[in-house]
Amino acid sequence: MGVTALIPDMTFKQLYDEAKNRWGEIWDPNASRLQIMLLLPRKQRKLLELHGDMIDHGQPVMAIFNRPRAQIDLLEKQGFDHRKASFQFVDLASADLGPWMQQLVTQEGWLRNTIEIAPVPFSMDVPNQRAFEKHSILCFRHPDLPSLDTYHLPYPVTAVNGKAFVSLPRRQAAELARQQAEILGVGLAKPEPEVVAVPIVGSKPIIEPPMKMEEDFVSSMVPEMPVPFPNQPEIIEKAESIPLPEAAPEVDDAPPIEKEFKAIVQELLDEGVDPSDMMSDERLADVQERALAVGFETWPVFMQMVT
């Protein structure tokens, strides 16, 4: 299984350039890698963001979603409704392609084909447009979505910018975290102070004079006489009830975005909406976008509320 991390405002090229510093020995620069494209219903986006948490893989898997803007008209000319789909580019090791897609293909019926990645025509005058050669890559799409022959971009796939969802192999990631903790001195056992035995210097016995010893011996033989005490009235103590302080009201220190997310999920539950259909609700999609922007993970909260 993997562990997914969110890195905002990233491109594949930036991740490649920083891979060795970020992931150390986990990253194999000699591993054969490829880029694929996934077409999925919008309501399944959250599942694909954390897809690596359920997959065993050997190398880091990097995924970035792309929201079409200038190319919307080009999609509509192909009869593809961009509002029903999310577009994800995935960069992964060739050896990890099978495990990454196995469940989606065999159990959910995803379809495989090739798609042409082509530059947006310069006549559209898209800002920051960069020329690149059109090429074909593997494409996997959900069976509920139609096929797409060409996907246009204003720049190469390696320059697509957005939130990067990076899945690291869990075992290697744990080892990396341990090594980094050792470097920082976190969690290291502190050496116990050495216990030095201090010799006890015996004190010289005190020899009492004979007369003092005889007096002590005689006094110890005289029995103690009971001393009479005056009669005192019996005092009955009454237990006094002390009122306990009232418990302070519990303060909800959850961030506002978490409260808003929980309120929307609860509202959908009250309306009888099935959890699998909630991801397509515009209210939930909007708050999820803002939650990701501030680094708040909504998925654990969502699963806790619907299970």
Q: Note the pLDDT tens digit of each residue in 76-114.
A: 999 999 999 999 999 999 999 999 999 999 999 999 999
In 159-207, alpha helices (H): 170-184
Domain ranges for the chain, please list them. 2-184, 256-306
Which amino acid is it at 243? P
**pLDDT (average), residues 107-122:** 95
Is the CB of residue 92 less than 8 Å from the CB of residue 36? yes
Q: Say yes or no to pLDDT of 229 above 70.
A: no
Q: How far is CA 226 from the centre of its chain?
A: 77
Between 130 and 233, whose confidence is greater? 130
Q: What is the mean pLDDT of the chain?
A: 81
Confidence of residue 183 (pLDDT cuts 50, 70, 90): very low
For position 187, what pLDDT does the model report?
43
Please compute the mean of the pLDDT values over residues 207-218 and round it to a whole number. Answer: 53
What pLDDT does 287 receive?
Answer: 82
- Sign of dihedral through CA atoms 142, 65, 269, 83? negative
Q: Which of 175, 167, 171 is nearest to 55 (CA)?
A: 167
Task: Specify the 3-state DSSP secondary structure of 218.
Answer: helix
